[in-house]
Structure 1
Amino acid sequence: MIRDHFRVLVVNLSSGKGQIVQLDGRNSEAGGSGLAALIFNKYGLPEQPWNDSRQPVIFAIGPLTGYFPLMSKTVCSFKSPYHNQYTESHAGGRSALSLCFANLDALVITGKAERLCCVSVSSRSIEIKDVSFMKGMDVDESGKILRGMSKGSGHRTILRIGPAGENGSAMANINVDTYRHFGRLGGGAALGAKNCKAILIHGDAVFSAPANKEYSKLFAKVYQQVTATDMMRKYHNLGTPENLQGLNDIQSLPWRNLQATSDSAIDTINGERFATDNLLRNSACSGCPVGCIHVGYVREMFDANHRYTFKQVAYDYETIFSLGTMLGVTTTRSVLNILDSIEKNGLDAMSGGVALAWATEASEKGLIAEKETIVKLSFGDADAYQQATEMLGNGVNDFYRLLGQGSLKAAKEYGGEDFACVLGQEMAGYATGEVFFAAQSLGFRHSHLDSGAYSYDQKHSKQDINGAVNFLISDEASRAFMTSMVACLFARGVYKNELLADCLHSVGYSELAAGINPLGVHIQKFRWQTRIATGFAPEAITIPKRFYTIKTWKGSIDSNYLKSLKSEYGKAIMNLAGA
């Protein structure tokens, strides 16, 4: 499996044919994020719209996939329907190992099928199946059918979209093996534009682990660190929902469309309450021994004969924020019911929840009438939100179709731009302060994981523009290398550069091992150059007024500091890219 080139399968849905392509660049682009940018530069059309049938949807893994614990993610890259620019989304499940055992470094989908289709690939075959009968099916229904159509499980992954993806919603995700997602910036719509309902990847090949003792000892060392120490234990226990209480305590948790940053009702919806009342089991991505996926359950009576149905849905910090505190919903059962609807319709939970929070405040202010929302939206009304997510996913009228393109686009039509909680895309759940707001608004994926800005805010009360910008740029470079491996970013505390170098060397990638820092900077620069070529301009991204009006543990947001920080960070990005 060790090779100095990338082995890429390109499937053209227009012609119904596939081709194995070998690409150079292993020692410069590494894999994952770097490889995805390399492929987009070869097959992408920077000046054409996101839904041009020739645009690629790319799935890429890294050189350590399959060899070490938590090297379990896949990078999905595409031109986004949200902002019409190049972007990435990351997910786990079985996707990475399936690609690895299909003897591929990347899978690329181009073209557009005449009818709704399912693409099935393995190490030896490609099949494109007509699944027109699945049109409009939700993620649960299609998943049951696709599992029946495919052989076994093991190293088989099922990627699928729901109604939101078919409808072209910029909030549509790609569901990965039920509990994971390529979530943000509209990957589901990118597949939907190709008439692709699902992708099945069968990892049916085998490869031998390195025979040297160095590898065996190193694997045991890494496994020990991620399973027997406190370094990763928190992700298995309460998981990321543990952060709800802490952020609420320091006035950094968004409530009711960020009209507040703390609320005493946190006791009814924090991580401990979910674990006590709703946790069914833990699950894990393939290749991960930690088990950070927390699967919750809700028991619902569905008829007068007292018969019950059980819903199982994976929750985490982000979904509890977006469908709980952001909507003023304060019971665990209600959050899981809304999340179940979001999941079935194939919507990104953060984007959908934050958009509905804006719609609720706009309704309360009289900017949107009930004829648009169909149901009356009120903070805390979980039943209404459950219905609204269904309508948002299906785009039932002009209002919901527009809202599905983003809160700011809806606000330009109806008003309410000042309180749209958008930082490049609908915000993540960290109202920690100026550094995070600037970082997410301009970050490569507009993600809270582009950098550790939310942590920086909590550790630094002093205003230091140069220090903050230098941190954001350097931190992103190290993460760019991690996402080129492709490691779960939860493991960034384990996989320091020295350990990464040892891992790469042990499996035969000595040149990569010797150049981690410069390679991280190179990949970071290369990704930005790719995105800038598709239209990224920092000055075109605004931070709505709502973010200037809140209070955190440091006090009121300093408007001048936030504006200056965003401006200098934008300049630093453009300078890095040589633009």
Structure 2
Amino acid sequence: MSNEANDLFRVLVYDLERGRGELAILPGRRQCLGGSGLAALLYEKYGLPTAPAFDPRQPLIFAIGPATGYFPLMSKTVCGFKSPYNENYAESHAGGRSALALRFAGYDALVVVGKAPRLSTLVVGSRRIERIDVHYLAGADVFTTGKLLRKIAEGASGHRSILRIGPAGENGSGYACINVDTYRHFGRLGAGAVMGSKNLKGIVIQGDGDLPLPADKGYAKLFKDIHEKVTSSGMMEKYHNLGTPANVLPLNELKSLPWRNLAATSDSEADKISGEAFAEKLLMHNAACAGCPVGCIHVGMVREMFSSSHRFAIHQVAYDHEPNFAAGPMLGVVDPVEVLAINDMADRQGLDIISAGVALAWAVEATQKGVISEKDTEVKLTFGDAAALKRAMWLIGHKANDFYALLGQGAMVAAAHYGGADYACVLGQEMAGYATGETYFASQTVAFRHSHLDTGAYSYDQKHKEQDVAKVVDFLVKDERERVLLTCLVACLFAREVYKPEVIASVLGCLGHEELAGSFDAAAENARRARWRLKIATGYDPRATRIPKRFTEVTTWKGPVDAVYMEALRAAYAEAVAELGAPPATDQAQPPAL
């Protein structure tokens, strides 16, 4: 393959209003690799930075990377969009079969623009591109929708991925997610609401084409070497065995596990919702994303009893640390069955369980303080009352009244109306399940996705007690760059210890990207800076970020949080981000090495 061909992306651009798709062949691989970089490149081309997130012309982008489908754990898809949660350019990442299906369909990316005249599903493959009217699925939950879409768009089984939204996406919740193949999600920052604004209930990607093996004679050996590292070395065992719920007891011991809207960071009942407890009582089986031999998806069992018939149904619910935290200790729930049941209810509505759980935790405390009433909430919200909390999840998804309409846009939106911002646990978006201290709180507040996965800040907090602003910011900046490289390839971030620079160079060279193999750091840095420029161009000001008062009241293993030091970290990291997002001096200028 020529160097020019190696630089090209195959992108399907589908206009829902016109009911027509067009194939675009675009240069840029040497500039941005793929994945996160490709999503940014496509938003630069098709996006409207100053228009609202729900403007029909805004693109919804799904992008994969150069190694997708060829090597283990290269199993993620990057979704790029303008977020209705914060009106900034955003990314969300998901696995399932989405990445492999796009690869076998023959595309590096899918870009969806416009708004369908009626509620629709988009079916995309190498030989089929079709918009199907599914108005009868209006209001249907995620799992009902999935069952029907499997019948509507038959074919390519095993290489087919089904993306869909629930009532929350149709109702415009700021943290509505896109469910991917039942157990995975484009979860954070409201991609599901963007789908809903386009009258798009589902996307079926049919991987119905062929994928030729690389011509490089060393491919089989390189694949085998990486596969053995993943499966035989033990470095991935923790993800397969207990999975990330193994974090619960160590975090609780370190006084770093959020309880009851972060009123506490440890509790004597943590053992009831530990990874060990879930594995012993509820684990049914493990599952894996396509192209991954690890099997980190843990699927538990929930039995739902129907009082009228005295019969029950069994629901299979995927779990890991972040959903368990948001449906468990953050809400004061310590029965693992109820944790899964709350998670299941959020899933059915198409809600990001992290934001929904943390927003509900704020609502419970606001109820206790008399800021909101039972007239607003329709049920009496109490920490630990799983039945009421499940009902509240349904009410959020269905935008049941003015209160739930506001809460569905985020805890801070509700607090701005009712009061109570001091105890809204929002760090750019609702916090994830780590109360590790100043580094993590500052990082999630400022970082690109406002995600615990933007950097390893939560891990840094657990290893460092000293206070050194310059050293921490240097770590955050460098760690983000390494992660962006992986999200351009696109690798699962659990594979960080496998895909070191020398392995990445071998992978790219084996796939025919010899020039990229020697310059991937520069391409990843281009991608990182492009993402930041887009986020800032859509209205983000890192210097204007703020950390709510509740985070200054936390005590961890290091002692009480130092609010002055935390603010210094936030401000210094914000300055570093502002520099990363600054426009280049000239169009030809290369980003300086960090």
When normalised by structure 1's length, the TM-score is 0.99
2:255 & 2:516 partners in 1: Cα distance? 43
Decide whether the 8 Å contact of 2:13 with 2:112 is kept in 1. yes
| 1:87 partner amino acid | A
1:299 aligns with 2:318: no
1:444 aligns with 2:448: yes
1:114 aligns with 2:153: no
Partner deviation per Cα, 1:450-501 (whole Å, 9 max, x = no partner): 0000111111110010000011011101111100000000001111111111
2:23 & 2:217 partners in 1: Cα distance? 34
Q: Please point out which of 419, 424, 436 is paired with 2:423.
A: 419
Other structure's SS at 1:231 match: coil
2:441 & 2:187 partners in 1: Cα distance? 20
Q: Please point out which of 44, 47, 58 is paired with 1:44.
A: 47
Q: Please point out which of 4, 9, 12 is paired with 1:9.
A: 12
Q: Please point out which of 146, 154, 158 is paired with 2:158.
A: 154
1:68 aligns with 2:99: no
In the TM superposition, 1:153-232 aligns within 5 A as 153-232=157-236
Q: Please point out which of 79, 90, 106 is paired with 1:87.
A: 90
Q: Partner residue of 1:337?
A: 341
1:48 & 1:65 partners in 2: Cα distance? 32
By how many angstroms is 1:359 displaced?
Answer: 0.2
Other structure's SS at 1:6 match: strand
Q: Partner residue of 1:361?
A: 365
1:525 & 1:101 partners in 2: Cα distance? 30
By how many angstroms is 1:305 displaced?
Answer: 5.4
Q: Please point out which of 374, 381, 384 is paired with 1:377.
A: 381
Q: Partner residue of 1:559?
A: 563
1:290 aligns with 2:294: yes
1:130 aligns with 2:133: yes
| 2:119 partner amino acid | L
Q: Please point out which of 479, 499, 503 is paired with 2:483.
A: 479
2:249 & 2:345 partners in 1: Cα distance? 25
1:334 & 1:60 partners in 2: Cα distance? 36
| 1:481 partner amino acid | L
Decide whether the 8 Å contact of 2:33 with 2:524 is kept in 1. no
In the TM superposition, 1:247-286 aligns within 5 A as 247-286=251-290
Decide whether the 8 Å contact of 2:164 with 2:201 is kept in 1. yes
Other structure's SS at 2:218 match: helix
Q: Which moved more, 1:278-287 or 1:535-544?
A: 535-544
1:523 aligns with 2:527: yes
| 1:224 partner amino acid | E
Other structure's SS at 2:571 match: helix
1:206 & 1:504 partners in 2: Cα distance? 20
1:321 aligns with 2:330: no
2:515 & 2:83 partners in 1: Cα distance? 33
Q: Please point out which of 95, 98, 101 is paired with 2:101.
A: 98
By how many angstroms is 1:307 displaced?
Answer: 2.2
Decide whether the 8 Å contact of 2:33 with 2:488 is kept in 1. yes
1:450 & 1:238 partners in 2: Cα distance? 23
1:37 & 1:211 partners in 2: Cα distance? 30
By how many angstroms is 1:541 displaced?
Answer: 1.9
1:480 & 1:65 partners in 2: Cα distance? 15
Other structure's SS at 2:580 match: helix
Q: Partner residue of 1:31?
A: 34
Other structure's SS at 2:162 match: strand
When normalised by structure 2's length, the TM-score is 0.96
By how many angstroms is 1:14 displaced?
Answer: 1.1
Q: Partner residue of 1:308?
A: 312
| 1:411 partner amino acid | A
Q: Partner residue of 2:503?
A: 499
Q: Please point out which of 438, 450, 465 is paired with 1:434.
A: 438
Decide whether the 8 Å contact of 2:32 with 2:524 is kept in 1. no
1:298 & 1:189 partners in 2: Cα distance? 27
In the TM superposition, 1:532-551 aligns within 5 A as 532-551=536-555
2:388 & 2:303 partners in 1: Cα distance? 19
Other structure's SS at 2:112 match: strand
By how many angstroms is 1:304 displaced?
Answer: 5.8
Other structure's SS at 2:21 match: strand
1:350 aligns with 2:350: no
1:150 & 1:157 partners in 2: Cα distance? 10
Q: Which moved more, 1:40-49 or 1:539-548?
A: 539-548
Decide whether the 8 Å contact of 2:37 with 2:524 is kept in 1. no
1:265 & 1:147 partners in 2: Cα distance? 42
Q: Please point out which of 565, 573, 577 is paired with 2:577.
A: 573
| 1:569 partner amino acid | Y
By how many angstroms is 1:110 displaced?
Answer: 0.1
Decide whether the 8 Å contact of 2:543 with 2:575 is kept in 1. no
Other structure's SS at 2:318 match: strand
1:49 & 1:434 partners in 2: Cα distance? 33
Other structure's SS at 2:236 match: helix
By how many angstroms is 1:520 displaced?
Answer: 2.3
Other structure's SS at 1:107 match: strand
By how many angstroms is 1:211 displaced?
Answer: 3.6
By how many angstroms is 1:539 displaced?
Answer: 2.6
Q: Partner residue of 1:19?
A: 22
Q: Partner residue of 2:57?
A: 54
2:581 & 2:307 partners in 1: Cα distance? 60
Distance 1:52 1:305, change over 3 A: closer
Q: Partner residue of 1:401?
A: 405
By how many angstroms is 1:213 displaced?
Answer: 2.8
Other structure's SS at 2:379 match: coil
CA RMSD of aligned residues (A): 1.0
| 1:499 partner amino acid | V
Other structure's SS at 2:6 match: coil
Q: Which moved more, 1:1-10 or 1:372-381?
A: 1-10
Partner deviation per Cα, 1:73-125 (whole Å, 9 max, x = no partner): 00001000001010000000000000000000000000001100000010122
Q: Please point out which of 138, 141, 145 is paired with 1:142.
A: 145
2:28 & 2:525 partners in 1: Cα distance? 15
Partner deviation per Cα, 1:297-320 (whole Å, 9 max, x = no partner): 022332365422111100000011
Other structure's SS at 2:467 match: coil
By how many angstroms is 1:529 displaced?
Answer: 0.6
1:194 & 1:417 partners in 2: Cα distance? 32
2:274 & 2:254 partners in 1: Cα distance? 14
Stretches of structure 1 lacking an aligned partner (at least 5 in a row): none
| 1:372 partner amino acid | D
Decide whether the 8 Å contact of 2:33 with 2:520 is kept in 1. no
Partner deviation per Cα, 1:314-361 (whole Å, 9 max, x = no partner): 000001100000000000110011111001000001000000000000
By how many angstroms is 1:511 displaced?
Answer: 1.4
1:141 & 1:125 partners in 2: Cα distance? 24
By how many angstroms is 1:212 displaced?
Answer: 3.0
Other structure's SS at 2:92 match: strand
1:54 & 1:304 partners in 2: Cα distance? 48
Stretches of structure 2 lacking an aligned partner (at least 5 in a row): 584-594
Partner deviation per Cα, 1:118-151 (whole Å, 9 max, x = no partner): 0001012210001000000000111110011122
| 1:124 partner amino acid | R
Question: Identity of paired residues, percent?
Answer: 58
The count of residues paired between Structure 1 and Structure 2 equals: 579
